[in-house]
Amino acid sequence: MSSASSSSSKCDQGTTAATQTEVPSLVVKKEEANEDEIDARNDTAILPSCVAVEAKIHETQEIGDKLADEASCKLHELRNELLLVTQEKESYKRQCHMFTDQIKMLQQKILEMNDKYVKKETCHQSTETDAVFLLESINGKSESPDHMVSQYQQALEEIERLKKQCSTLQHVKTECSQCSSNESKSEMDEMAVQLDDVFRQLDKCSIERDQYKNEVELLEMEKSQIRSQCEELKTEIDQLKSASQHIGTVVSTSSSMEDSVNNMDGESLKLRSLRVNVGQLLAMIVPDLDLQQVNYDVDVVDEILGQVVEQMSEISST
């Protein structure tokens, strides 16, 4: 009865120890799966953000080029309008000079006629009357002083009319120049405002571009950090694989030793010391393993070691 109770207690202890070792194995598998998911998630998260940043930079550059083209077209139109106004101004100036020359010619003719008239008045009456009679006899008509005065008055009226016309043209010229200057000034002011808006938008786009560049650099730094972390995890996995191989050799030696001492009751102390050593190695691989609660007189350590070896072989095969 005592042997049966001791064997049943040993079985119960073995089952409790086995349940304790199942948890670390699940933790190791979950950590490996989480590492793969983190790598995939980081790669998929970095690529769309970089593509979006490059698309935004390209869009801002296209907007800046379009605004610059519109500004150049506006400036070209303003230059054409200023050229037309300048041509009209030159034509008015030529007309004014022409009218001024005509007025000077008429004034000179009037002065010449006045001089002739004065000379005729100062001449001798006899010769004047003879000349008048001679002209009357030749032409059949007489040029009376009243007629000459009327012609002189008509000439003066013509001069006044031409002066008024010239002043009117000058006034029209000044009005046209003022209108053209005001229009050109207002258009130039509007163009200046538009150019200021364009430059402000370009500055804003350049600032956004710099921000996106900084974000891209930060993402690249994060990506490099993640890659370094992945490399560290890979090295840790390689170390675990090498440790599992070492444990496999230890297990093989322990199994051979266990076969040799099955029929020897005096070798139980050696088996216990071996299990203690194996337990310490397992504690390095499975940090959650509590060695104080492990019974080295039963095969709990052997079962834990077998599970760890199976997990390591699965990891190496994947």
Tokens of 198: 């364009």
Model pLDDT, residue 132: 46
pLDDT in 10s for each residue of the chain, 318 residues: 434 344 444 444 444 443 444 444 444 445 555 666 655 555 555 555 666 667 777 777 787 777 778 877 878 888 888 888 888 888 888 887 888 888 888 888 888 877 776 666 665 444 544 444 444 444 444 456 667 677 777 878 888 888 787 778 777 777 777 776 666 677 778 888 888 888 888 888 889 888 888 999 998 898 888 778 768 777 877 777 777 777 767 666 656 555 554 555 556 777 777 878 877 777 777 777 777 887 777 778 788 778 877 877 777 776
Residues 6+ apart with CB under 8 A from 121: none
Overall domain count for the chain: 1
Model pLDDT, residue 263: 53
100 belongs to a structural domain: yes
Contact 136, 142 (CB under 8 A): yes
8 belongs to a structural domain: no
4 belongs to a structural domain: no
Contact 281, 266 (CB under 8 A): no
3 belongs to a structural domain: no
Model pLDDT, residue 262: 54
Contact 288, 23 (CB under 8 A): yes
CA distances from 45 to 50, 52, 212, 224, 227 (A): 9, 11, 16, 14, 14
Burial label, 180 (beta-carbon count in 10 A; 0-12, 13-18, 19+):
middle
2 belongs to a structural domain: no
Q: Which domain holds residue 233?
A: 14-317
